[in-house]
A and B are shown apart, each in its own frame.
Chain A
Amino acid sequence: MKNYLLTFILLCCFSGFAQQQTISGVITDDQDMPLPGASVLIKGTTTGTQTDFDGNYSIEATNGDTLVFSYVGMEPQEIVVGNTSSINVSLTVSTNQLDEVVVVGYGTQRRSDLTGAIVSAKAEDIAEQPALNAMQSLQGKVAGVNIINSDAPGTDPKVVIRGVGTASAGSSPLYVVDGIMVSNIQNISPSDIASVDIMKDASSAAIYGSDAANGVVLITTKSGKSGKAKIKVESFYGAKSVLNPVEMANGQEYINYFNEKQTSTGGSYQLSPNQAYDTDWYDELIGTAFSNNNNVAISGGSENVDYFFSVNNYNEDGLLKDQRYNRTTIRTNNTFKLFEGRLKLTPNVNLSFTNENPKGYGVFNDAYRQSPLVPVYYESGQYGQSFVNQSTGLVGYQGAPGETIGRLNSIGNPVANAFYDNQKIQTTNLQGLFKAEFDVTDWLKLSSRFGATKYYYKKRVFNDVKGRWLTSDPTRTSGQFDQLKEENPTSLTYVNNDLSYENKEEFRYNWDTFITIDKSFNKHNFNMLLGLTRDLRNDNYRSYVKGYDVPSQEQYWNIDMASSDYDKIAEQGYSNIRTKLSYFGRLQYNFDNKYFITANFRRDGDSFFKENEEYWGNFPSFSAGWVISREEFMSNSGIDFLKIRGGYGKLGNANVPQLNTNTVSTDPGSNSNNYVFGPNQSLIFGSSFGTPVTELTWEKTNEIFAGLDISILESRLSANLDYYNRTTENAIMNVKPLLNSAFQASYYDHGGEVNNEGFEVALNWQDQVSEDFSYSIGVNYGYNKNVLQDVKPAYDGNTGGSLANGQITKRLQEGQPLYAWWMYEADGVWQTQDEIDNSASLESAKPGYLKYKDQNEDGIIDDRDKVFMDSYLPKFNYGINLGLNYKRFDFNVDAFGVGGNKVYNGLKGVRIDGGENVTKEVYDNRWTGPGSTNVNPGADRDAVASSYYLENGDYLRINNISIGYTLSEDAIKYFSKLRIYATAQNPFLFTKYTGFTPELLQSGAPNETAGIELSAYPNVKTFILGVNIEL
């Protein structure tokens, strides 16, 4: 009020006296909160000023001058100076993408000022696709970021940014939540997230140095805004079912297939055509699963305090019976403003509790293989097993005296296996941040923040040994078991049950302190950052206890109640703590908002590499940008915005899973370090020397990149193009010691280069056709080529991708993508024995078996004939996003696809004893005799890994179709806004792949089963109904 009066008086006194006058006023946001540091500029000049802490400004201007008021993230406003000397301005939040605020690590920047490649997603993008983890919601929405998902409840998606650049070190990006460095964001409710900014290029990410080689994902959680309290309630219910079921052969088809196999192998019996059961195992195993999510958030603010509080409960059932995942999160983000807002204190706390009943995915594999002739339950109520009366050819365990009972296969009953899988996992995650920001002057800010995460994990596994023993053979009786138990009182084979508890604790923190300088002289604008960080992580604890014969009722499942007849197992250990010390700085300079230069620098010291001379490392980066559209000569070009940018950066990857010192290996359990001595056969613990370590340091990645941003047609069409070439010069490889050397365990050494080269395109069209109708179309595409090169001799050759039947499918090889597929090339089908006898063949070959190509033509089929066949990693991925708004309706469709990769259909390929079921497609197309087909094998076939089972991994999935209807204040009484919506997640999948899902995350490790469908959780489609209410 004071200011107003003063201005008014001044106005009265001085009006008309001078051309040059002092204009003053307050700049606020649309919530009437003052904006400190907003800029005021006389258009066409370099004369300007900034607002003080209360948003006040004062500037000398002449009548007729145009004042430009601007603030990061706000729509700039221009006002012509007239007679009045008081101009108060209220800036509104910008809808222009170029003005949005991007988090750049220890600071923020306006998108139009960026010189690197940072992609962002906002709360609305995440809300569109409800999920447990925000990264799942972003699949297909960000170019150059490949998000590989699994639909199993509670999975952490794998995020690959600009290709996998390492063979053996970690390949997950760094997550930074409000400045807290974390390894994943499973504990954050997506509803709490205001924005996600992903640093793709090395010049931006270099500010995080040795943690940044896999990219950096910056999460900003919501905070309160000044104004009256807002209450938001979000709620949805979903129902899930299998997206892409595979049709299996039915009972009759199985009989034919089995009998053909028997004929070929000379099996002693045939199955009778009249069988009692025709079970569809997937039907029996999988049900419709439900999920629901409820979220309440309260936010608001006053002069001194901004507050945000939320509670979220997320509940998801799996496709299997009793498979559940439940997470509750509580977040409070508050900011206290002291000394007229010059000191801001921000304590943020996030609590997350999960409760999970996981089930092993092996049962999906079992359901694929178990014969349809086996019942779920026998008439006696016992679980069905694959017994067959070989004398009568009838599937069942009963037989008259003299008849032979065998098994069709060694697969268990999938329903029983799922039932006996009894696990429970509970976790608690406490994450907190305390931040102090102090504005020393209007251009100098001091910040310090401490963020820490403590994680508790408890896993209980109960194993009903007796139940499993009885289930595996219906002729067994409880009495038999008890008798065996009595006869073998110490044998672990005849315990009633075993129970184990595993407890883990993890702790990490980082403490950053930095100063930020923001200063402009004429058209020169500087922004400088200097800081340091202390970082401690991997402070982990694990304990494991196991006991036998606890009471069968769940309430007594305590190790204390285990039988004293059996020794209990106790294990406990601490991990190696890792500390880091870092210094970092950033200099940003631009001239006239046209020419931009950014330089980043970080120096990291890491305790893991302390025995190495190079345990301190420097990570510099440099980038520049030119906003061509702001040049005079472009003023009539019709281009609204055009910028080119490019740069260089160096990053590190210090995520190596061991302390780099020579160690001695010991083990408390059954292990080849230990041995039994003495008349009582005591277990004596021994030890052995580990493989001597080589000097390790972090992996160093160098990247050059260039990009172009353009928007035309009144900013309706915008495009971003990016090119990058990044090389990890000293990729850490897991090296197998020479077979005939003394040491056993693989060791890590720098042994090669990994190159990733690619480009990214993002196109966006948005148009407001009328007051009632607007729409947008977005397309993004990312291409990446991955290759391993310059490998030290004998360092490659590691194999991987085990199919768990003695077959492997991948190999690490120079000149190939990381762990490329490596197997025999299928080359038709053996038609006759004659043909086999006269050609190179495997010893097991028979007519109807796949023929493998003798690549080196030496007349023998062995490892030397295996060839490389591409990678499981997609070469490209793309997303298509459509949005329509008509009056109160909104409509969205999103699609996501990948291509250029291969996936291995392990379900189809892996057979152990020939009595497994097959898909209808395999049945229909099988080889049935000479001349029938030269492509598909017959009912009797081998299970050797070959290109026959390697299928095209391309797919396009519609991952979201949603329609919403919004009611606002004018239509309803008690709510300020109410939106109801219906969403179909993953309703359609387009792929040539013949299994359940070509999106095969598995463990995520390239040398393991990534890209192999074997015990994989199927893709699901989900239908969701939800409502969002604002009060």
Chain B
Amino acid sequence: MKIKYNKSLLLLAAIVTLVACSEDYLDVDSREDISQEDSEQTLKGENFVTGVYGMLTDFSYAFSYLGVTEIISDNADKGSSPTDSGADKEALDNLQHTTSAGSVRAMWELWYKSIGRATSSIEFLETSSMENAALKNRLIGEAKFLRALNYFWLVRSFGDVTIQGVSEPSERAPKEEVYAYIEQDLKDAIDALPKKSEYASKDLGRATKGAAQALLSKVFLYEEKWDEAQTYAEMVINSGEYSLEPNYEDIWRVYTENGVESIFEVQARGESIAHGVQQYSQTQGARGTSGWGWGFNTPSQNLVDAFDAEGDEIRKNATIIFPGETLWDGREVSASVENAAYNEKAYSSANAGASDTDKNIRIIRYAEVLLIHAEAANEQGNASAALASLKKVRDRVNLPEYTNTDQTALRMKIWNERRLELAFEHDRWFDLLRTGQAKDAMAEDGKTFITGKHELFPIPNDQLIQTPEIPQNPGW
């Protein structure tokens, strides 16, 4: 018996020793996420740049963005059911949004997060030991293009804004500084990026030299630097890379994606694994019997009237879905859908109301560059160059050539042309602000535009809570 006791004691002593092992027991490696120290080995700069593009597919572009670009303008109404306010969409539609408007907050945040991703990927690439220098430069160029695009969207919405890494989070850099920052990024991108035709087929959809030039000309347009705007527009026009689609309505078909007119567009696919701008087609799809969507962001009567005033049937029908209409793909839209009009440019034939559709969203296309060129040329007194570019745009939709060389009249004509050509392409509100037409246009639409306030969106209240020192925009 005694021996057995001792044996048991030994056994227990052994157990104790086993349990009380060293602290190595606490060294456990991450399995869920790749830790940053290992990221150099497993991930490439390319992955991080893809992550910046990916931000363009965020849900905010499918709902909040509609509110702050189109619904707020005279082109569109809130849509949907009268009692569904779409959070703040009704307020935006009535120009009664507040500093708590969720759509404004969502875009403010999303643009900054996209910029953050772009900057991180640039830093990652610059310090990486990537051997293919050409690829490295190109990727940095793509990230700079995307960063510039997001800053542009920010500055035209909010005016002075924080520049990440340059100003403190509680400070706002003057908008001139922000524009200078955007210009520098785009110039770097133009140097680094290949032309559209120089890309390998698998890279279709990436930012190109032409995209950076086109965006820069648009940025100059907003800055009213007419000479530079015209110069960069001409670079695109003379590059030989782009032309107009012969049929206007074809621009929103699957088969013209990344086509001759496309300069930069958000890519999407509707097949498994489907991935597009999440719910972009659904939020704007027809609502009610035989409908497929939520029915937000509906073309206004004001827009229909603008088309009619110009006798512009082609673009009206390509832009607007009317109840009772049979769509180009044979889909019958019931006469009893809930709203009087829907945005046809957001319609996906194959995926209709699915949450991820094949709908590529055109950000900049050749027709806009022609209109930027026309506007910049006209502002510099070069009416003939302006008329030539304007003619190309109007010819396609069978509208008569415009010949009046009076600068003021031509300016109004070009602005109206922008409205009809680019309706529902998320520029209308900023065109109204940029050109000083907002107050009158809103009054005509039955809304009160408060001068000195509505030129800019408010800095979101949640940002003010986080950084109380950050100055608010005037009037808010």
- A interface list, Cβ under 8 A from B: 261, 265-267, 339, 342-343, 387, 390, 397, 399, 403-407, 410, 436, 438, 440, 446, 448, 473, 475, 487-488, 490-493, 511, 513, 532-534, 548, 566-569, 573-581, 605-607, 610, 615, 659, 661-666, 668-679, 681-690, 736, 738-744, 794, 797, 805-807, 843-844, 860-864, 911-915, 940, 942-943
For A491, the chain B residues whose CB sits under 8 A away are 270-271, 350-351, 354
Complex: A670 Cα to B4 Cα, angstroms: 65
For B25, the chain A residues whose CB sits under 8 A away are 534, 579, 581, 607
Q: Is the CB of A675 within 8 A of B461?
A: no
Min CB distance A480 to B, Å, is 10
For B12, the chain A residues whose CB sits under 8 A away are 436, 438, 446, 448, 513
Option from B51, B94, B164, B338 in Cβ contact (under 8 Å) with A688: B51
Q: Is the CB of B272 within 8 A of A739?
A: no
Q: With A659-B32, A739-B463, A863-B461 as given contacts, are A579 and B269 in contact (CB-CB < 8 Å)? A: no
**B:76-128 near A, CB below 8 Å:** 80-88, 90-91, 94, 96-100, 102, 105, 108-109, 112-113, 115-117, 119-120, 124
10 A-B contact pairs sorted by A residue (CB < 8 Å):
A339-B4, A446-B12, A567-B271, A574-B32, A610-B26, A663-B34, A664-B33, A673-B51, A675-B54, A739-B462
For B166, the chain A residues whose CB sits under 8 A away are none
Q: Is the CB of B205 within 8 A of A843?
A: no
Q: Is the CB of B30 within 8 A of A659?
A: yes
Residue of B nearest to A667 (CB): B54
Min CB distance A581 to B, Å, is 5
> Is B273 part of the contact surface with A, judged by Cβ < 8 Å?
yes
For A438, the chain B residues whose CB sits under 8 A away are 8-9, 12
> Is B443 part of the contact surface with A, judged by Cβ < 8 Å?
no
For B338, the chain A residues whose CB sits under 8 A away are 406-407
Complex: A436 Cα to B19 Cα, angstroms: 14
Binds A, one of B35-43, B224-232, B366-374, B419-427: B35-43
Closest 10 CB pairs of A and B: A742-B116, A686-B50, A806-B87, A914-B83, A843-B96, A663-B33, A913-B81, A688-B51, A862-B98, A863-B100
Q: With A339-B5, A806-B87 as given contacts, are A686 and B47 in contact (CB-CB < 8 Å)? A: yes
For A390, the chain B residues whose CB sits under 8 A away are 336
Residue of A nearest to B20 (CB): A532
Q: Is the CB of B466 within 8 A of A738?
A: yes
Binds A, one of B196-204, B236-244, B301-309, B385-393: B196-204
A473-B289, A580-B26, A739-B463 given; name 6 further pairs at CB < 8 Å: A475-B289, A674-B54, A677-B267, A740-B164, A740-B463, A844-B91
For B35, the chain A residues whose CB sits under 8 A away are 661-664
For B164, the chain A residues whose CB sits under 8 A away are 740-742
> Is B352 part of the contact surface with A, judged by Cβ < 8 Å?
yes
Q: Is the CB of A687 within 8 A of B203?
A: no
Min CB distance A580 to B, Å, is 8
Q: Is the CB of B34 within 8 A of A686?
A: no
Which has the most chain B C-beta neighbours within 10 Å: A399, A406, A575, A605?
A406
Q: Is the CB of B50 within 8 A of A684?
A: yes
> Is B335 part of the contact surface with A, judged by Cβ < 8 Å?
yes
> Is B23 part of the contact surface with A, judged by Cβ < 8 Å?
yes
Q: Is the CB of B33 within 8 A of A740?
A: no
Q: Is the CB of B82 within 8 A of A673?
A: no
For B8, the chain A residues whose CB sits under 8 A away are 339, 343, 438
Min CB distance B393 to A, Å, is 28
> Is B72 part of the contact surface with A, judged by Cβ < 8 Å?
no
Q: Is the CB of B53 within 8 A of A678?
A: no
Residue of B nearest to A864 (CB): B461
Residue of B nearest to A608 (CB): B28
Option from A488, A659, A672, A739 in Cβ contact (under 8 Å) with B460: A739
Q: Is the CB of B269 within 8 A of A681?
A: yes
What mask results when residues 158 to 200 of chain B are scored 1 for a CB within 8 Å of chain A, else 0? 0001101000010000000000000000000000000000000
Q: With A677-B206, A743-B116, A844-B90 as given contacts, are A534 and B108 in contact (CB-CB < 8 Å)? A: no
Option from A405, A607, A684, A743 in Cβ contact (under 8 Å) with B334: A405
Q: Is the CB of B31 within 8 A of A862?
A: no
> Is B49 part of the contact surface with A, judged by Cβ < 8 Å?
yes
Complex: A266 Cα to B349 Cα, angstroms: 34
Q: With A576-B31, A672-B57, A674-B50 as given contacts, are A738 and B463 in contact (CB-CB < 8 Å)? A: yes
Q: Is the CB of A913 within 8 A of B28?
A: no
Option from B87, B269, B273, B353 in Cβ contact (under 8 Å) with A493: B353
For B83, the chain A residues whose CB sits under 8 A away are 261, 265, 911-915, 940, 943
For A911, the chain B residues whose CB sits under 8 A away are 83
Q: Is the CB of A665 within 8 A of B33?
A: yes
Complex: A663 Cα to B42 Cα, angstroms: 12
Q: Is the CB of A744 within 8 A of B30?
A: no
> Is B409 part of the contact surface with A, judged by Cβ < 8 Å?
no
> Is B358 part of the contact surface with A, judged by Cβ < 8 Å?
yes
Min CB distance A267 to B, Å, is 7
Min CB distance A915 to B, Å, is 8
Complex: A436 Cα to B80 Cα, angstroms: 69
Complex: A436 Cα to B467 Cα, angstroms: 60
Q: Is the CB of A739 within 8 A of B99?
A: no
Complex: A670 Cα to B36 Cα, angstroms: 23
Min CB distance A156 to B, Å, is 24
For A687, the chain B residues whose CB sits under 8 A away are 43, 47-48, 50-51
Complex: A576 Cα to B35 Cα, angstroms: 12
Residue of A nearest to B470 (CB): A740
Min CB distance B238 to A, Å, is 26
For A446, the chain B residues whose CB sits under 8 A away are 9, 12
> Is B275 part of the contact surface with A, judged by Cβ < 8 Å?
yes
Residue of A nearest to B120 (CB): A689
> Is B290 part of the contact surface with A, judged by Cβ < 8 Å?
yes
Min CB distance A596 to B, Å, is 29
Q: Is the CB of A407 within 8 A of B28?
A: no
> Is B149 part of the contact surface with A, judged by Cβ < 8 Å?
no
Q: Is the CB of A493 within 8 A of B352?
A: yes
Q: With A405-B336, A689-B36 as given contacts, are A576 and B28 in contact (CB-CB < 8 Å)? A: yes
Complex: A797 Cα to B86 Cα, angstroms: 23
Option from A339, A567, A605 in Cβ contact (under 8 Å) with B273: A567
Q: Is the CB of A566 within 8 A of B272?
A: yes
Q: Is the CB of B32 within 8 A of A806?
A: no
Complex: A864 Cα to B99 Cα, angstroms: 9
Q: Is the CB of B26 within 8 A of A615?
A: yes
For A511, the chain B residues whose CB sits under 8 A away are 19
Q: Is the CB of B48 within 8 A of A844?
A: no
Min CB distance A300 to B, Å, is 27
Q: Is the CB of B275 within 8 A of A683?
A: yes
Complex: A581 Cα to B28 Cα, angstroms: 13
For A407, the chain B residues whose CB sits under 8 A away are 288-289, 338
Q: Is the CB of A674 within 8 A of B275?
A: yes
Q: Is the CB of A670 within 8 A of B275?
A: yes
Complex: A805 Cα to B80 Cα, angstroms: 14
Option from A533, A678, A861, A864 in Cβ contact (under 8 Å) with B203: A678
Min CB distance B334 to A, Å, is 7
Q: With A677-B267, A687-B50, A742-B120 as given contacts, are A493 and B36 in contact (CB-CB < 8 Å)? A: no
Option from B36, B112, B161, B463 in Cβ contact (under 8 Å) with A742: B112
For A568, the chain B residues whose CB sits under 8 A away are 272
For B91, the chain A residues whose CB sits under 8 A away are 843-844
Q: Is the CB of B290 within 8 A of A740?
A: no
Q: Is the CB of A688 within 8 A of B354?
A: no
Option from B120, B203, B466 in Cβ contact (under 8 Å) with A794: B466
Which has the most chain B C-beta neighbours within 10 Å: A475, A568, A659, A668?
A659
Complex: A387 Cα to B82 Cα, angstroms: 17
Q: Is the CB of A566 within 8 A of B54?
A: no
Residue of A nearest to B254 (CB): A681
Q: Is the CB of A678 within 8 A of B32?
A: no
For A744, the chain B residues whose CB sits under 8 A away are 109, 113, 116
For A665, the chain B residues whose CB sits under 8 A away are 33, 51
Residue of A nearest to B277 (CB): A672
Q: Is the CB of B48 within 8 A of A688?
A: yes
Q: Is the CB of A578 within 8 A of B19?
A: no
